[in-house]
Homo-oligomer: A and B are copies of this chain.
Amino acid sequence: MGFLLPITGLAALLVAAISARLILKESPGPPRVREISGAIYEGATAYLKRQYTTIWAFAFAIAVLLLFIPAWGWQASVAFLVGALSSTIAGVLGMHVAIRANSRTANAARAGVDRALKIAFRGGLVMGMVAVGIGLLGVLLFYHLFGNPMFILPYGFGASAVALFARVGGGIYTKTADIGADLVGKVEKGIPEDDPRNPAVIADNVGDNVGDVAGMGADLFESYVASIIAAMVVGWTVQATYGSAAVTLPLWIAAMGIFASIVSIFFVRVKKGKDPSYALNSASIAAISITAAGSLFLVVYMFGWGNGWGLFVAVLSGLMAGLVVGMTSDYFTNRIHRPAQFIAHSAQSGAAIDLLAGFSFGLLSVVLPIIAIATAVVVAFVAAGGAVSVTAGFYGICLAGVGMLSVTGMIVASDAYGPIADNAGGIVEQSGMPGRVRRVTDTLDSVGNTTKAICKGFAIGSAALTAIALFATYTSEPFANIQTLNLLDPKVVAGFFIGGATVALFCALTILAVGRNSFRMVGEVRRQFKKIPGLMEGKAKPDYARCIDIATRGALRELIIPGISALVIPLVVGLVLGKAALGGFLAGSIGVGLVFALLMANAGGAWDNAKKYIELGRFGGKGSQTHAAAVIGDTVGDPFKDTAGPSLNILIKLMSWVALISAPLLLA
């Protein structure tokens, strides 16, 4: 039956190809639309080319270093480079299609919500299916080549390293442009969002694609691959308990998730009079349900009732935790719920109170997801037999991660949908289509905000479980081989504190980067409004290229230091303080990182949606003092939710990768 696995991977790629074809068959719209879309395409590809050139310089350097670490060698370097390449392909390909989908969604919006939503969703689907298809096939390839899953690890490491750089770079790019466009255009000049007179508007649209689409894709691709590999590696060591099927079970669950996601595509259909977000959410729920049911069938078939039952509970605990984290994010950020509305209400007392309210709700939103993840860890550990064998318990935790991530295809699809809808709205605005069309894309965009929040929660939850799985792998037999990681050992305590501090350092560096670069962007946009005669009257064109250039240069310059820190600090801690301290370091980074990732994603989302709630006409609506206050909150939230927050997901995983890969060095 093993042939079913590569076939599922290929099926995912086939679905991606069909979706891409269906998109390309749509009309790209009138000349003005094509012109704008072309400008976005040009800016995005130019940026990605330069970004991946920088990233690949690092990737080659790491591949060379791997040659010198005992236990690895040229196979590891090759796997690493293929992992890096897979991540690059998934990001670039998905983004190319997404940009094609933007203009076609804008054009289709003239015919109504359903048609436009379908195109936007298909654009995201390409990204999602490419990610899971390549991911599954890549893992299968190296498993087939090397036999022992341990040697697939560098493949995941490659994906992770590229993901971090891409996430940080894309995150800085998108927020530089967004803040520059908003602060001068919307706040100072009072022109609408996406107005073509705004010099930073094209850079802003480019940013949505290189940050939100390519970045999130790379993030979830990495989590997906990492969770499968970690589970296989730990599965290898529990074969005595569970038999050799323990190694392949993660692959089968992943395949089941792909199958479930493909089936669930047919649920994406807007019913008359129903909120379109219903269409996307019901597809996600369907995917999760089918995966859960299919996993039960799988484990019972592969392990029998006795052993299978516990493993199923482990998988299920991951799926459930993912659901709780996602729904909490939705509650705290969606404008139909109390928190976002309360923040909007607070904005009446000014920006400071708006900010404090959002920050507090962000902190509050941390509690339930963390309890859900902690519960999933304990339940999965116990269910898989952790009381008898610690490694079996770890296997359960890894399976929880695989369970949560099995529906990645669908999650990425509904997430990438968001920026496509957002961009379509921008194109509608810039090409001067009638207000009726803009209202259609606004509806799509508001749906995108909800799905985006849920997916962000999902990305964080899965990152935490994946990082814990990698951490467990790091401590286990062929690696650091730590039996007890004692929090009463001062070196572990020191590592633990430094791990927490590293998270703070990383957030500081990325937010400072956005601040610095935005400062330059604000200056440039102000300059253009002052120096280009007739710009405000719409008689002259702004110099879009200069804004794109500022965003590009800044992002490339600023991504290097955070990226290198993430690679070097864990290595230094391990070499100086030893393998136990490095274990403490990982624990500290995951603990503090999880709090900050949730805080930043949810506070940022809440500020954003509070602003949008006011824009619906509440508390004075657009142009009021209250709105101005909420815009400040939204701007502060921008790098929280789209730069530092999501980068943390990858940071905590990448640092675990570094620990894992460098473990042979620490033992030597």
- Name A residues whose Cβ lies closer than 8 Å to a Cβ of B: 179, 183, 187, 346, 349-353, 355-357, 359-364, 366-367, 370-371, 373-375, 377-378, 381-382, 386, 390, 393, 397, 468, 472, 475, 482-488, 490-494, 496-498, 500-501, 503-505, 507-509, 511-512, 514-515, 518-519, 522-523, 583-584, 587-588, 591-592, 594-595, 599, 632, 635-636, 639
Contacts and interface: CB of A to CB of B under 8 A. Distances in A.
A560 to B, nearest CB: 17
Contacts of A522: 349-350, 353
Contact of A352 (B179, B485, B595): B179
A497 B353 contact: no
B511 A356 contact: yes
B497 A594 contact: yes
A359 B512 CA distance: 9
Given A488-B475, A595-B504, A352 B635 contact: yes
Please classify the interface of chain A as helix (H, G, I), strand (E, B), loop, or mixed, using the class held by over half of its residues: helix
Nearest to A633: B352
A493 B382 CA distance: 13
Given A352-B632, A382-B490, A498 B361 contact: no
B505 A363 contact: yes
B364 A594 contact: no
Given A488-B390, A488-B482, A370 B498 contact: yes
Contact of A497 (B183, B373, B381, B584): B373
A270 B277 CA distance: 68
A487 B356 contact: no
A187 B355 CA distance: 16
A350 B494 CA distance: 39
9 contacts: A187-B350, A366-B504, A370-B497, A370-B500, A484-B488, A500-B592, A500-B595, A501-B595, A632-B632
Contact of A632 (B351, B514, B584): B351
B179 A363 contact: no
Contacts of A363: 504-505, 507-508, 511
Contacts of A355: 355, 632, 636
Most chain B CB within 10 A, of A367, A497, A514, A522, is at A497
